């Protein structure tokens, strides 16, 4: 029996994976929907910031969180289908804004990627390393697959108040 932890759910699998379930006996998980669960767990401080931030979208609630934590909140919001939270995490530096909130609201969910696609895309972002390019620009370099040779980048921009935010079109 193997114990795997994805997001908030712990899975227990037999060798043949035919009896996959969570600790909750009423919830059954199989190989087809494991990928639909967020690929990492938020820390206590990230969870607290995520909870309070989504209530009022006040960026000051994110003070003190590093760029990888902010990226995790962005990914989590996508898995939760909270696109207004994702948009609020984008940079507010005028020279970097690429589309308005109103335009973002018109983007169909089908164009945002499925949870399965996003699970693959962001699988190791929580284990990446942040590389700062300037006072307010940087990116998270992470393995985009199980191979450490395939690297991806996730661009971040620091706002005027010192809070890291997601660059529009962040994936490099």
- Give the residue numbers spanning the domain of 11: 1-34
> 125-137 pLDDT, tens per residue?
999 999 999 999 9
Q: Residues 37-65: pLDDT tens digits?
A: 889 999 999 999 999 999 999 999 999 99
Which of 73, 90, 75 shows the shortest CA–CA distance to 166? Answer: 90
| pLDDT classification of 150: cutoffs 50, 70, 90 | confident
Out of 1-5, 38-42, 150-154, least confident range: 1-5
Residues 18 and 71 in one domain: no
**Is residue 116 located within the same domain as residue 164?**
yes
Answer whether 47's CB lies under 8 Å from 41's CB.
Answer: no
**Mean pLDDT across the stretch 64-74?**
97
Q: Please state the domain count of the chain.
A: 2
Which domain CATH number covers 97? Answer: 3.10.450
Instruction: Pull the structure tokens for residue 98.
Output: 């690429």
- How many angstroms separate the CA atoms of 152 and 122, rounded? 9
Residues 125 and 161 in one domain: yes
In a shared domain, residues 153 and 76: yes
Q: Are residues 95 and 146 in the same domain?
A: yes
Same domain for 15 and 68, yes or no, is: no
Q: Are residues 22 and 95 in the same domain?
A: no
């Amino acid at each position: 029996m193997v114990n795997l932890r994805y997001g908030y759910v712990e899975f227990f699998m037999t060798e043949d994976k035919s009896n996959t379930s969570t600790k909750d006996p009423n919830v059954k998980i199989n190989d087809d929907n494991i990928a639909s669960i967020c690929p990492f767990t938020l820390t206590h401080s990230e969870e607290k910031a995520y909870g309070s931030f989504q209530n009022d979208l006040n960026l000051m609630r994110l003070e003190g969180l590093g760029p990888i934590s902010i990226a995790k909140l962005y990914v989590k919001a996508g898995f939760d289908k909270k696109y207004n939270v994702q948009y609020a995490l984008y940079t507010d530096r005028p020279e970097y804004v690429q589309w308005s909130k109103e335009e973002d609201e018109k983007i169909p969910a089908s164009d945002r990627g499925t949870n399965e696609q996003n699970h693959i895309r962001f699988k190791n972002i929580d284990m990446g390393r942040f590389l700062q390019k300037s006072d307010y620009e940087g990116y998270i370099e992470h393995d985009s697959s199980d191979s450490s040779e395939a690297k991806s980048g996730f661009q971040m921009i620091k706002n005027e108040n010192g809070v890291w935010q997601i660059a529009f079109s962040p994936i490099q």
